[in-house]
Amino acid sequence: MNSITFEAVTGTSTLIDAKGSECPIPIIKLKAALNKAEEHAVYGVQTTDTFAEPNVRNFCTSTGNEYLGVEHFDGYDIHYVKKRTVECQACSNMRTVGLGVLAAATLAYTAPQVIGSNPSGYITVLFAAALASLPPVLINNLRLLKKTIKKNADDATDVLGAAE
């Protein structure tokens, strides 16, 4: 378990009140706050959901944010999260693209076997897992593509504006 440092608690930008909410509501509130926050901002998420700790940890792992730890109080917990840096964002983008390639490759390998014959249980499980992971992977890759296109368009506009 991560320990909470004095800097983490005193550096908390905002406490997010998600008490009384079941997951994924605390994660949604945290994600919205982190999207608006500057790098290295620290947030505390107040929760009463007993499953919040693994959910917040998994969210941090999948997004590249840093889980600083949890503090237990009478009736609620506060989970401390530090916003990822630009370097971590690049790693997160690479994971998103990598998962997309892996899901597509797995589907390309297993789909003909599932459709054309009597597949083994292993092939069926691989196919089902790849198929289930496809929608979120596609959505994340489309968001990444949209963000890249917007950034390139903004950069092109800056270059054209400087040339005039």
Task: Categorize the per-residue pLDDT at 1 as very low, low, confident or very high, splitting at 50, 70 and 90.
Answer: very low
Q: How far is CA 147 from CA 61, 93, 140, 141, in A?
A: 21, 11, 11, 10
In a domain, 158, yes or no: yes
Phi/psi for 118 (5° steps) reads -95, 95
Q: Are residues 91 and 78 in the same domain?
A: no
Residue finishing a domain among 48, 82, 116? 82
Q: Are residues 66 and 103 in the same domain?
A: no
Task: Categorize the per-residue pLDDT at 7 as very low, low, confident or very high, splitting at 50, 70 and 90.
Answer: low
First vs last C-alpha separation in the chain: 56
Residue finishing a domain among 82, 101, 124? 82
Cα–Cα dist 117/108, whole Å: 15
* Domain around 129: 86-163
pLDDT at 28 over 50: yes
Taking only the tens place, the pLDDT of each residue in 119-160 is: 888 889 999 888 888 777 777 777 778 877 887 777 767 666
Residue finishing a domain among 60, 82, 104? 82
Which residue in this structure is represented by tokens 């989970």? Answer: 79
Q: Are residues 41 and 101 in the same domain?
A: no
Taking only the tens place, the pLDDT of each residue in 42-76 is: 899 999 998 899 999 888 887 888 899 999 988 99
- The whole-number pLDDT of residue 45 equals 93
**What pTM does this model have?**
0.51
Taking only the tens place, the pLDDT of each residue in 74-118 is: 899 999 999 886 656 666 777 777 888 888 899 899 999 998 888
Q: Are residues 74 and 27 in the same domain?
A: yes
